[in-house]
């Protein structure tokens, strides 16, 4: 991160989903780099706590924007708060999201709609709200997708569908926005230490729930975020984050039958339906 810090210094940056996980760590590392931050999330108390810690450490005090990406108008207010405080908006991390995970027969259409409302339309709301300011600054747009946008697994169809949609969106708008000077980077993480696997299918956090993924393959959040920030600073079109994520994407691209064979044998999926013991 040291070599990339000058790129972020004095940049006005908006982060959605900044109250936990990747979003919170983005705020911490960008604050260390001297960025001017606007932090957006539903949990205002968490944002305030983070802002106080950053200010006490001598960083720029972040602007706090209570924001639900599924509500019209919230993102426009967050962008206005950033511009009102810093006079510009140079960069956006469209990071807010969660995962609905359950077998098809335990889901209904409303579950898929709820997944897309946050993970896809929430990203679109973020882009539309920020686009006029990013055009002025010829800035950066980072969309946080997932390796699940490359590799779909049984029991996770809503989440995988939403992340496939984000990859299609990023691929389509990258050349469209290039003429405006906006650089788009799609971030596709594998398993990163965050709260996403402790959030149930209705978006409720269970902080004491055990992570169903083995700690041996879960990448520490600071490590993943350093890689994310390096990719955005370089203007990369996409960055697959985590070693296992890179392996899965390579297999999917060049030997997809291997993954088809493996997933056809999958059983005992740790889903997020009402049968899971969260505590």
Q: Does any domain span residue 277?
A: no
Quick one: which H or E segment has residue 40? strand 36-41
- CATH for 66: 3.40.50.720
pTM above 0.85, yes or no: yes
Q: Does any domain span residue 272?
A: no
Largest CA distance in the chain: 55
Catalytic: 60?
no
Q: Does any domain span residue 270?
A: no
Q: Does any domain span residue 250?
A: yes
Q: Does any domain span residue 209?
A: yes
Query: Number of structural domains, the chain?
Result: 1
Q: Does any domain span residue 269?
A: no
DSSP 154: T
Q: The tokens 């299609």 sit on which residue?
A: 168
Average pLDDT per run of 10 along the chain, which is 279 residues long?
84 96 96 96 95 89 96 98 98 96 94 97 98 98 97 93 98 97 97 71 68 71 96 97 92 88 62 56
Of 8, 60, 128, 159, the catalytic one is 159
Q: Does any domain span residue 148?
A: yes
Q: Does any domain span residue 276?
A: no
Report the alpha-carbon angle 222-90-44, nearest 5. Answer: 60
Domain span holding position 64: 5-264
- SS3 per-residue string spanning 42-61: CCHHHHHHHHHHHHHCCCCC
What is the rounded end-to-end Cα distance, in angstroms, of the chain?
A: 36
In what side-by-side order are the strands of the sheet with 12-16? 63-66, 36-41, 12-16, 91-94, 140-144, 183-189, 238-241
Cα separation, 129 vs 123, in Å, equals 10
């Amino acid at each position: 991160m040291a070599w990339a810090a000058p790129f972020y210094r004095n940049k006005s940056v908006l982060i959605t989903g900044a109250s936990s996980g990747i979003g919170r760590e983005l705020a911490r590392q960008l604050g260390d780099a001297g960025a001017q931050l606007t932090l957006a999330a539903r949990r205002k108390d968490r944002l305030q706590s983070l802002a106080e810690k950053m200010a006490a450490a001598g960083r720029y005090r972040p602007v706090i924007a209570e924001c639900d990406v599924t509500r019209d108008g919230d993102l426009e207010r967050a962008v206005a708060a950033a511009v009102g405080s810093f006079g510009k908006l140079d960069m956006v991390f469209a990071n807010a999201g969660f995962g609905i995970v359950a077998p098809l027969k335990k889901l209904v259409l409303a579950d898929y709609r709820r997944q897309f409302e946050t993970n896809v339309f929430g990203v679109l709301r973020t882009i539309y709200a920020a686009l006029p300011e990013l055009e002025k600054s010829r800035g950066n747009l980072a969309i946080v997708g997932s390796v699940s946008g490359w590799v779909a697994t049984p029991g996770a169809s809503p989440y995988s569908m939403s992340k496939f949609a984000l990859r299609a969106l990023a691929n389509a708008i990258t050349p469209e926005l290039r003429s405006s000077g906006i650089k788009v980077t799609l971030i596709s993480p594998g398993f990163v230490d965050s709260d996403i696997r402790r959030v149930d299918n209705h978006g409720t956090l269970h902080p004491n729930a055990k992570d169903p993924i083995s700690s041996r393959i879960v990448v520490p959040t600071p490590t993943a975020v350093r890689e994310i920030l390096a990719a955005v600073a370089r203007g990369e079109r996409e960055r697959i984050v985590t070693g296992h994520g890179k392996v899965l994407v390579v297999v999917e691209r060049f030997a997809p039958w291997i993954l088809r064979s493996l997933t056809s044998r999958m059983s005992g999926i740790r889903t997020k339906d009402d049968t899971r013991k969260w505590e």
